């Protein structure tokens, strides 16, 4: 154990943050009052809700969000049709000045969205002149209604590069480009952003999706007076996808820029996973919508305890530490095999493992009806581990490596009558070709 508290501070493009936890550009960062409250709770910085010049009016639909619940779990995902800030630019810039005066050690990252070269330059200069420590260029909002904005720019690589270059020439503060996940290879636009001069990359913005369809009115949600739309989807359900994009960016040799990670972060464990695959800071929206700004207290405490327990003094030392272990599937050692292992003293006899193994696994379980316990036939076990995913007793089923030379049964024993019937039936395809 460490004798003193670990250092959670992060240097990101020369801007110092007390910890890696930032508000993202979203409904949770819409005013100085909201941001001040978050700073008091422990958030180290803010990516302010995206600013526009005001030349094109922003009007939000009503209602503007819909929750995706899964079973008893509330808000596994959130669909959002809210656009960028509808507040006057002057009001947002005054908020910057207020926050810099009262919270000078909490960096402000101004998120911007222009609709022309002049727009981008004007917004960048205005944000810098009014106290922004850094800029985030929103090339990624998936439901902007103004042509030539949002993720449409993020999918037009040369336009993304051009806008980044315009902004870089206009300001002296660092510039971060925010990537859309609505694309096949996220490293491609990121490299174009680097060519335009970007100092860092933020990812991911929300994924285009449909969270729900009303079964009575047949309207996708949110139902805006009889009309639904594909729009941004966020929350815990997108975290595995977001982690993959962050890792791709971090491993891209042509990029080599610091990364701010976004997507489904609610706990210190979520945040730590982002750090381990290459993010230096993390941004949060849906977690705050679900639980409020207070979740940062647990994030700070949990991450600090994790560092202390492992004798690590600086959180910065964790960034990217999982990447050497992240390879393509052809790097797996297929000579090493294993099976599921059951701690039957803890078994409650529910039979869920039997059901899933028979219907979706290797049919490797037999059932002792008197004792209500499974028995594993080891040489039939596929080590898929789906039995452990459905078992209600945490840790009862684990993975066990088998000795070198052990072999899994190649074919399952078939019912004799079915085997005979199959032998008589002609194959639909000539397998000799």
Cα(199)–Cα(191) distance, integer angstroms: 11
The contacts of residue 338 (CB under 8 Å, 6+ apart) are 383, 399, 400, 401, 402
Answer whether the bond into residue 133 is a cis peptide, omega within 30°.
no
Cα(388)–Cα(404) distance, integer angstroms: 24
> What angle is formed at CA 14 by the lines to CA 39 and CA 33, rounded to 5 degrees?
20
Cα(172)–Cα(84) distance, integer angstroms: 24
Q: Which of 230, 224, 227, 189 is nearest to 208 (CA)?
A: 230
| 351-354 own/partner pairs: CB under 8 Å, 24+ apart | 352/387, 352/390, 352/391, 352/392, 353/387, 353/390, 353/391, 353/397
322, HSE (Cβ side, Cα atoms, 13 Å): 15
Cα(147)–Cα(116) distance, integer angstroms: 11
Cα(15)–Cα(131) distance, integer angstroms: 13
> Is 391 known to be catalytic?
no
E strand or H helix that includes residue 177: strand 175-178
The CA distances from residue 226 to 32, 59, 222, 223, 233, in Å, are: 35, 18, 9, 6, 20
The contacts of residue 269 (CB under 8 Å, 6+ apart) are 302
76, HSE (Cβ side, Cα atoms, 13 Å): 10
What torsion do the CA atoms of 138, 144, 147, 148 make, to the nearest 10 degrees?
Answer: 10
Structure-token pair, residue 136:
């985030």
The contacts of residue 212 (CB under 8 Å, 6+ apart) are 66, 68, 79, 220, 221
> For residues 190-229, b (16+ Cβ closer than 10 Å) or e, as one string?
bbbbbbbebbbbbbbbbbbbebbeeeeeebbbbbeeeebe
Crossing angle for the helix pair 268-276 and 295-309, nearest 10 degrees? 60
- Of the residues 141, 357, 387, 391, only one is catalytic, namely 141
**Could you list the active site residues?**
141
């Amino acid at each position: 154990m460490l004798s003193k508290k670990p250092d959670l501070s992060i240097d990101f493009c020369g801007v110092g943050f007390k910890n890696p936890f930032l508000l993202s550009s979203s409904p949770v960062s819409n005013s100085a009052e909201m941001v001040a409250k978050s700073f008091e709770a422990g958030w180290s910085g803010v990516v302010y809700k995206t600013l526009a010049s005001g030349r094109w009016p922003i009007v939000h639909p009503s209602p503007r969000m819909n929750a995706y619940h899964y079973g008893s779990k509330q808000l596994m995902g959130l669909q959002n049709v809210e656009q960028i800030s509808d507040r006057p630019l002057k009001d947002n810039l005054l908020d910057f000045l207020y926050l810099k005066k009262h919270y000078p050690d909490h960096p402000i990252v101004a998120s911007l969205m222009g609709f022309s070269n002049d727009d981008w330059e004007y917004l960048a200069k205005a944000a810098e002149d009014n106290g922004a420590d850094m800029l985030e260029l929103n090339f990624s909002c998936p439901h902007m209604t103004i042509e030539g904005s949002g993720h449409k720019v993020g999918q037009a690589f040369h336009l993304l590069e051009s806008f980044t270059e315009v902004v870089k020439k206009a300001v002296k503060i660092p510039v971060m480009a925010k990537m859309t996940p609505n694309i096949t290879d996220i490293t491609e636009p990121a490299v174009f952003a680097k060519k335009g001069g970007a100092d860092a990359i933020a990812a991911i913005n929300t994924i285009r999706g449909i969270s729900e369809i009303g079964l009575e009115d047949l309207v996708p949600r949110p139902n805006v007076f009889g009309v639904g739309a594909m729009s941004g989807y966020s929350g815990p359900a997108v975290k595995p996808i977001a982690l993959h994009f962050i890792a791709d960016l971090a491993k891209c040799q042509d990029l080599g820029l610091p990364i701010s990670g976004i997507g489904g972060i609610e706990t210190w464990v979520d945040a730590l996973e982002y750090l381990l695959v290459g993010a230096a800071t993390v941004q949060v929206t849906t977690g705050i919508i679900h639980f409020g700004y207070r979740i940062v207290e647990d994030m700070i405490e949990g991450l600090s305890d994790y560092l202390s327990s492992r004798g690590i003094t600086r959180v910065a030392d964790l960034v990217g530490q999982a990447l050497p272990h992240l390879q393509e599937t052809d790097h797996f050692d297929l000579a090493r095999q294993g099976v599921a292992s059951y701690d039957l003293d803890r078994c409650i006899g529910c039979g869920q493992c039997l059901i899933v193994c028979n219907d979706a696994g290797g049919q490797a379980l037999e059932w002792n009806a008197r004792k209500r316990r499974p028995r594993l036939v080891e040489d039939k076990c596929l080590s898929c581990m789906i039995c452990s995913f459905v078992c209600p007793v945490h840790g009862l089923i684990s993975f066990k490596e088998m000795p070198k030379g052990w072999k899994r049964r190649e074919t399952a024993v078939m019912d004799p009558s079915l085997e005979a019937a199959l032998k008589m039936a002609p194959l639909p395809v000539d397998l000799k070709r």
